[in-house]
Structure 1
């Protein structure tokens, strides 16, 4: 795994560097220019490149560009003279891993190369994990688990996907109703059409009709031009209506006509627009009870209930929790370039003991936190419906960087080494989260 391609036109420097690296048990292949130096490099080559910036012919920056074209994840370390530091800093912003300023001690070279090799090792482990996940894109890798409840659900999804009938999905908040709806679409003859999702509970009442059915120019104040609705936009594909129980009663009548006649009438128009769309709706409420109480149209309920799916809460499929948690951890490792993480028996017991009131969404957030913070004990985070996954990830990332800075007495070098990231990555993330350094140490 410990391999280095060393490119430098100065023979004495090549000899000194290769000896230092070989004494550190690092395999070195030397070149006096870039010709043929990168012939062995592939996206799975287990090594790093060390190159001088200034050389006759192709420069170190040319080598960097060639390496980035072959594999953007490949670490490239630049050797630079004092007058080339600004060039090296720019190269780091363009993708180089690090630079070493001449003259340098052999310990600095070995330390920098070892950190780059560790980064490469993690990247290749991540690639292997990503490849394994890509191979498992079937329904079992979407609706994860081995319980009888999830096996039944997968079988029903397969059966219903083959039909073109409308479907009603029941389940608590956070169980994955949209994922089930997407699976129905992706495994159906409509898979090449659009999957259009709309949350009926997230739109103001005065906007939902225009959003669903569209409008003509001048249909209402502010309607300056014609706009097709989401139903028509989904033509040839699938329309997913989440939180159907929130749809106003007057729009339920119009939706019933869509289901029966497959036509829509935009606001401000008298003309029917024919559509070819499959409708999948979801609810967290008992629509039968709401219909009996007069809060939901009975005819619409019975029209949708012909095919129905129930997505069970996590508490009813406890054996699936460790599998599902590990699945989310693996996905997070791929997304954030982390090495694969194993779960200990103690962690699995802790996962089983938690009630998971937020269901799969809460479990996914807990897996994300566990992956990013890498704590010894899984501490499921509080389920927060007001924040999306990206917002919560940004918060965790900011807290992690601030904690690492504090633990390392605000030493930027110690911080990026502890976090196993490059100095450029730390700088970019501190800028992103507006984290001020309390040290005069320059991150460049």
Structure 2
């Protein structure tokens, strides 16, 4: 490292310490965010160092992160992309690849998913001309059950794509077994659940494909970013092709002839010897990340265990502090799971002497940030009303989520003082209306 570079990075460390000084919590004044990035000195230095080295495209840091994250998640391959939503798009689109031959998904095939959740778990199903089959969730866990998924399997069902709700695992072992028994693909949307386990095994290790988000609200951040993981090398190759314009070549940027037969291919009706770097086997996208993002991801990854434990600790503090509050349904972990919680979900009893909106307004007035359980029942939104879909069973609980449910934060940036203020505020509101 040059003397000039070392001096700049030392100044960055000093700047970070200056920025972090004197930010005490003032109840009712300091914003308590429901989620957010937790960035330290190492993160700031990593970003600046990547910028100094002009690592402005995907490169060595991206490859290093992919390798380390795949090992950490117990998968053979990880492919970075520009968002968790793009990761979902790549994962679902990969299942339509002609390279899968008879197993490929075709327009009109069905994919089982959950009605109450985030739209970009469902959008890739529709964007690929497939039919979402919606099932309901359980209140408390906010997940679909294996029984509901089993009831939704029909003659055109080809895949299951479900998110682990706010870090709480769905019955993923049982649903993975259903997928195996019925020759279905399983995509785990693990964007909110990095570090969660089911039966002692990490979520994201049960499905054919797994997706992760690195948006600042999530467990790890790159600012923006996402990832597709798999243990299936054929699927990994398809995902990489789709992410990188649809090209058939697997050389990294700046590489050529990694396969040692760059000019020996004949594909499609192209002339023999056509440059493999410019042969396209999929109708793809350009959804790559940059080394600036990956440099931040590498330092964040070192803190994953710390982040997961903080989320669990904060969730327990809220759960214990609100356990005896009437009219509120508190969240519960799916049996046999250990969630890496994304948020603390509260559902107001419809018979309560107050509304969800009144409680949320009270908390927001006290600078306690709240969020809905994303879209609630997606089938009620204008974007989806006229989209082709099938519903199995009632969506009663998804409707309750739409009307009565919200969540508050448990992310590692929250202090005990903030959490206790949140508890006291909820208790004060309920007791005043009790």
Name whichever structure is richer in helix by fraction. Answer: 1
TM-score, scaled relative to structure 1: 0.23
TM-score, scaled relative to structure 2: 0.24
- Higher RCO (Cα < 8 Å, 6 or more apart): 2
